[in-house]
Amino acid sequence: MKIAIIGAGYVGLVSGACFAELGHQVICVDNDKDKINALKKLKIPIYEPGLEELVKRNHQHGRLSFTSDIASAVKASLVIFIAVGTPPKENGEADLTGIESVARSIARAMDSYRLIVEKSTVPVETGKWVKHTIEINKKKKVSFDVASNPEFLREGQAIKDFMQPDRIVVGVESKKAEELVRELYGALGAPLLVTDIKSAELIKHACNSFLAMKISFINAVASVCELAGADVERVAEGMGMDKRIGRSFLNAGIGFGGFCLPKDLDAFVSISEKLGYNFSLLKEVKKINESKKLEFIKKIEDNLWNIKEKTIAVLGLAFKPDTDDMRFAPSIDIIEKLQSDGAKIRAFDPQATHKAKGLFSGVKFCKDAYEAAKGSDCMIIVTEWSEFKELDFKKLKRLLKQPLIIDGRNIYDPNKLKGLGFKYVSIGR
Ligand code: UGA
């Protein structure tokens, strides 16, 4: 099937490469000419395990190409995915101007039937506006369908999530649109839920907000565990054994970040409010998430006495492991607060350093955890990269000024670290 994907960001590029891998003919479109030129030279703008090989292979086989000319891509394709960004506005609403402008360009270039699919995360009722925009801007008397097909992939395991999804959700208004989407995804053999467009749009916001709620819930439980002297890891284990709850997304820590959960939570609160519902539950989810970072700073203060002029080794900068994405990473707020309190920061991240360099000033970026630890008053864990779990603690003990580790992701066994002579502070235990 001939597909155009408008927006070669995270979702667009991964989906494009994966659709090509399934045998479709894919054109990825982006108005960022530098990005398209780099992609033509097979330079991938993000770190995502497996993506580079997938892009290279499908490009070599002639199934994946790149352009900044949206009109030619629309003319050459039957199905057009809109995967442009929907960044947050000041008031928390999603900015949909990119979607509108793409819908307009599609409408002007269409010369026969097209299926236009929303892939970007959008508030409910966007489909209605996309349809209206195409209707009033199309040059010729051509028919078209609009569908919603939200993407649920996670950064760091995006290809696996795309290729082996729990489900594919598609919101449609016609049998023809449903059949086309079924054909597109047929090779995956995954369960496909067909709904109306509004419900499909809502499923995406509801899922990300529910995941955020799970994290804030366990983080609130972690605070109670600390007060009561219980262990949040054991509590999460016990809760997770109940199949109705499940163990995933019950990892306590410094809270969720990234470009999806925080912005989608805000956008869902905002669209609910617009529709006339005060989603106060989700407002509390956000509050708890913000408070976790402050609680973490307090732990550092409690253990260092004065922060001023202390050197802190920060392990992990990306918002989560296996990505170089720094957008809304908890490390940003934490480092900025520590610096404003007068601390010196020595930081290490296995992949995100090049992106982090543009975000901080006065941070010493180190080549590994040991260089960061050298001469530091304590080491803090901000992102749970798996390589941090395998560190040489004897070496670390020699390098740190004092054997103090404050862990915002609960990656170590407290008894083991105590046995090795460390003062070890973690979350909710
Ligand atoms: C999230 C969703 O998980 C995807 O299903 C969705 O497709 C994506 O947003 C999106 O809308 O594009 P992602 O942002 O890549 O994916 O990352 P997650 O794995 O969900 O992690 C989000 C944040 O929550 C990270 O900062 C992570 O450290 C934190 N987290 C996650 C916790 O603090 N505890 C947990 O138990 C799980």
* Most informative mutation of 48, 261, 327 for ligand 1 (most atoms within 8 A of CB): 261
| Residue nearest ligand 1's atom 18 by CA | 154
Cβ-based neighbour number of residue 402 at 10 Å: 12
pLDDT of residue 359: 96
Can you tell me which atom of ligand 1 is nearest the CA of 121? 11
Indicate if ligand 1 lies below 6 Å from the C-beta of 410. no
Q: Looking at residues 88-100, what average pLDDT do you find?
A: 94
| Cα distance between residue 339 and residue 106, in whole Å | 47
pLDDT of residue 149: 98
Indicate if ligand 1 lies below 6 Å from the C-beta of 153. yes
Task: Return mean pLDDT, the chain.
Answer: 97
H-type alpha helices, 41-168: 51-60, 70-76, 97-109, 126-137, 158-163
**170-194 pLDDT per residue, tens:** 999 999 999 999 999 999 999 999 9
Indicate if ligand 1 lies below 6 Å from the C-beta of 152. yes
Indicate if ligand 1 lies below 6 Å from the C-beta of 319. yes
pLDDT of residue 75: 97
Q: How far away, in angstroms, is 154 Cα from ligand 1 center?
A: 6
pTM of the model: 0.95
Task: Specify whether the CB–CB gap between 93 and 270 falls below 8 A.
Answer: yes
DSSP characters over 223-284: HHHHHHT--HHHHHHHHHTSTTT-STT---SS---SSSHHHHHHHHHHHHHHHT---HHHHH
Q: How far away, in angstroms, is 141 Cα from ligand 1 center?
A: 43
pLDDT of 214 above 90? yes
| Cα distance between residue 88 and residue 391, in whole Å | 38
Q: Looking at residues 394-413, what average pLDDT do you find?
A: 97
**68-78 pLDDT per residue, tens:** 999 999 999 99
Tell me the domains of the chain and their CATH numbers.
2-195 (3.40.50.720), 286-425 (3.40.50.720)
| Residue nearest ligand 1's atom 16 by CA | 154
**109-148 pLDDT per residue, tens:** 999 999 999 999 999 999 999 999 999 999 889 999 999 9
pLDDT of residue 140: 82
Q: How far away, in angstroms, is 344 Cα from ligand 1 center?
A: 29
Task: Specify whether the CB–CB gap between 52 and 91 falls below 8 A.
Answer: no
Q: How far away, in angstroms, is 6 Cα from ligand 1 center?
A: 24
List the catalytic residues.
Answer: 260
pLDDT of residue 270: 95
Residue 100's nearest CA partner among 115, 82, 112, 117 is 82
H-type alpha helices, 164-196: 175-185
pLDDT of 228 above 90? yes
* Most informative mutation of 120, 152, 154, 210 for ligand 1 (most atoms within 8 A of CB): 154
Query: Where does the pLDDT of residue 161 fall: very low under 50, low under 70, confident under 90, or very high at 90 and above?
Result: very high
**271-295 pLDDT per residue, tens:** 999 999 999 999 999 999 999 999 9
